Amino acid sequence: MAGHFEPIPGGGAAVALDEVEISILRSLAVQMLELIGPGDEPVEGEDPLAALFAVGPSEPPADPALARLFPDAYAGPDADADDEELQALSSEFRRFTEKDLRSRKRDDALTVVRGLDSLTVGDEGGAVLKVSADDCPHWLGALNDLRLTIGTRLDVSDDDENGDLYRLPDSDPRKPMVMAYLWLGALQETLVDTLMS
C-alpha cells in the first residue's frame, strides 16, 4: 500500500503516507484553497435564494493556473481569438458556472485537508489514510486540480511527456515541483484504478 491507493472493504480507498508526504499534500491543498479564493458567503440579511442564483465573473482569470482550472467553455486553444460570438458564449457560460465550479474545487481541497488533519501519525512516522467512497471523488478532483496547477506553473505540455523536464538535475529549482507533479500523478492514477476495480 505504500505510496499508492488500494481498495478497502465497504468501498473507498486507503494509502500509506509518511509525515513528509502528509505535510506536502496538506500544504499543496491549502495553497490550492488560497489560489481559488474564499467562498462567497451571503451578506447578513441577504436573501439566501438570491445569493444562490448570483452570477459569477464573465472574464477568464488572468493567472494561467486559474485559467487552466476555469477554462473557457467555447473558446479553446485552437479557437479564433477574434471570434466575438465564441467570446460572448464563453463569457455567458462562465457567468453562470464559475461560481459553482469554484465552490466544488474548494470543497475538494477542504476534503483533502480535513482527511489529512484527521490522521494520527504513528511511532514510525506515518499513517494510513482511509478515504470513504463518498470522499473519493473529492480526492480525485483535488489531485487533478493540483496536477493541473503545478503542470501550468511548470509549463508542461503533451510534448514534455518524456522530455527534459523529467530528467532535471537535483540542482534545478524546478525539481521539487516536478517530483510533486509526478507523485500526484501516481496517486491520482492509483485512486482511479482503485475506484474502477
Query: pLDDT tens, 78-117?
Result: 656 667 787 778 777 777 778 888 999 999 999 999 999 9
**For the chain, percent of residues with pLDDT exceeding 70:** 82
Q: What is the pTM of this model?
A: 0.84
Give the whole-angstrom CA distance, residue 88 versus residue 86: 5
**pLDDT at position 8 over 50:** yes
Which pLDDT score is estimated for 60?
73
Contact 59/91 with Cβ under 8 angstroms? Answer: yes
Least confidently predicted of 153-162, 163-172, 173-182: 153-162
Report the number of secondary-structure helices (H) and strands (E) in the chain. 6, 3
Which pLDDT score is estimated for 1?
42
- DSSP characters for 152-197? HHHT--GGGTTSGGGG--TTSTTHHHHHHHHHHHHHHHHHHHHHH-
Which pLDDT score is estimated for 46?
67
Q: Dmax over Cα atoms in the chain, in whole Å?
A: 61
